[in-house]
Amino acid sequence: MKMIRMFSIALLCCLTAPLTFAQAQEAPKTLAETYNQIMNIAERQIVSAAEAMPADKYNFAPTQGDYTGVRTFAQQVKHLTEANYGFFISWNVPGAVKREDIEKLSSKDDLVKALKDSYAYAHKAIDTLTPANYLEPSGFGPAKSTRAGAAAFAIAHSMDHYGQMVEYLRMNNIVPPASRKG
């Protein structure tokens, strides 16, 4: 009888946990909230990965295998920082930082701060998405898209580089924070 009661309690917890989580996570109400919610996930993973890599490993780049010319970890962080501004530069959102200023950064602390600032800028840009403007043309580099497309690509781009950052961390025997149990 005791076993049945424990099983019933465990089953009840398993069945109600998703409901509790769903209630705690309110669904986005706007287009901007939808994109920002997904960007938040990417940002948390990327910033935590950037913070997890020790400063003395920021110049790490793989050398075993065909890795000629790949970015160092620091260059990955710089690239993401630059891209977060670049994807939204045509939106005329105040606060953009010039690529040349990002390229000058070298310390882990400066790079992590710049990365965080670039995500704040990206969120500010995404906040301007509305049903009235999401299909307006938005170009970044040679690519032509819409504002919604640029925002979606910015998120996808972040996740692509997160995957690369994870590999760099693991090559240095560091478990990415998002993969840690706890």
Report domain extents, the chain: 30-179
Amino acid of residue 95: G
pLDDT band at 141 (very low <50, low <70, confident <90, very high): low
Give the global pTM. Answer: 0.83
Closest to 90 measured CA to CA, from 55, 56, 61, 125: 125
Instruction: Please identify, in words, the CATH class of the domain defined by 30-179.
Output: mainly alpha
Cβ–Cβ < 8 Å for 180, 65? no
Q: What's the token pair of residue 97?
A: 């930082």
Over the stretch 23-58, which tens digit does the pLDDT of each residue have?
456 787 899 999 999 999 999 999 999 999 999 999
Of all residues in the chain, the percent with pLDDT exceeding 90 is 71
Helices and strands counted in the chain (H then E): 6, 2
Give the pLDDT confidence score for residue 165 in this predicted structure: 96
pLDDT band at 131 (very low <50, low <70, confident <90, very high): very high
DSSP state of 138: E
Q: What is the mean pLDDT of residues 86-105?
A: 94
Kindly write down the DSSP assignment for every residue of 63-97, as one continuous string.
Answer: -SSS-TTPPPHHHHHHHHHHHHHHTTGGGT-TT--
Give the pLDDT confidence score for residue 18 in this predicted structure: 47
Q: What is the mean pLDDT of residues 118-143?
A: 90
